[in-house]
Amino acid sequence: MSKNLVILGATSEIGMEVNKLFAQEGCNFILVGRSEESLKTHKEVLKHRGANKVISYFLDFADENDEVKLFNLFEEKLEGPIDIIFLNYAVLGRQEEEEVNLSFAMKNIYINFISAFKWAFAAGNYFKDKDGRFIYLNSVAAERGRRGNFFYGASKSGMKTIMEGFANKFAYSNTFFINIKLGIIKTRMSSEVKGVSSFLAYDPIKTARKIFLITKLNKPRSSYYLPYFWKYIMLIIKLLPEKILFKIN
């Protein structure tokens, strides 16, 4: 039986690659995003790859939305319960501007944390009497505050805690909240970051395959680093004394 997927931020680069892998299994999709043109293009790609049903739904994540009602609407459109929810979207923002422009900072915090939290909250209620998986693409920026991106990191850190809490809540059920901490991936977003090492940047297609495999696990963990070596990089960074971190940051 084909799975029903809801993809929040359906046209993110990594998200699109993951979707293609599920399409080959004849899955059904609700693609949610703010670019109607991109959603239409991605819809056609997934149909070509073998998806059974693909429905695009235009939504701006910066707006006030009723996420609880939307999940019920998506279930109606899919004609069956949602099996997997992916939350892929985020905005990197510009730290220098966020520090002096409160409106700009608050908009990005809303998208990256408040909006994402509302979807997690709605998923927690949706899955309370159903089995399913909520998968959040997080960032290693959540692990420690750094001067170049600490507003972005703070929003990701908040979602890290939310995901841990929901994973704990559903620990003895067949519902899984999975927090995937991405390192540097070769995407449009990472290309905006100054000083990113090309040596550490990982291929988005390989990343998508690993995410796909994680979702197929019978009993997945609540947290993963991708690529895996970021677990050890972040362990070192978290253990660094402030005097050293402040000098190299």
Identify the helix (H) or strand (E) that includes residue 178. strand 175-182
Share of the chain above pLDDT 90, in %: 73
- Dihedral-angle region of residue 26 (phi above 0 means left; psi in -120 to 50 means alpha; beta otherwise): left
Residue scoring higher pLDDT (187 or 124) = 124
Domain 4-248, architecture per CATH: 3-Layer(aba) Sandwich (3.40)
Q: What is the pTM of this model?
A: 0.91
pLDDT tens-digit readout, 168-181: 999 999 999 999 99
Please tell me the distance from the alpha carbon of residue 204 to that of residue 16, in angstroms, as a whole number: 10
Please tell me the distance from the alpha carbon of residue 146 to that of residue 142, in angstroms, as a whole number: 10
Please tell me the distance from the alpha carbon of residue 6 to that of residue 91, in angstroms, as a whole number: 20
Tell me, what's the pLDDT at 191? 53
Instruction: Return the domain boundaries, the chain.
Output: 4-248
pLDDT tens-digit readout, 97-114: 888 899 889 999 999 999
Q: Per-residue pLDDT for 193 more than 70?
A: no
Choice among 57-66, 82-91, 185-194 with the minimum mean pLDDT: 185-194
Greatest Cα-to-Cα distance within the chain, rounded to the nearest angstrom? 57
Tell me, what's the pLDDT at 201? 74
Torsional sign, CA 141, 145, 147, 149: positive
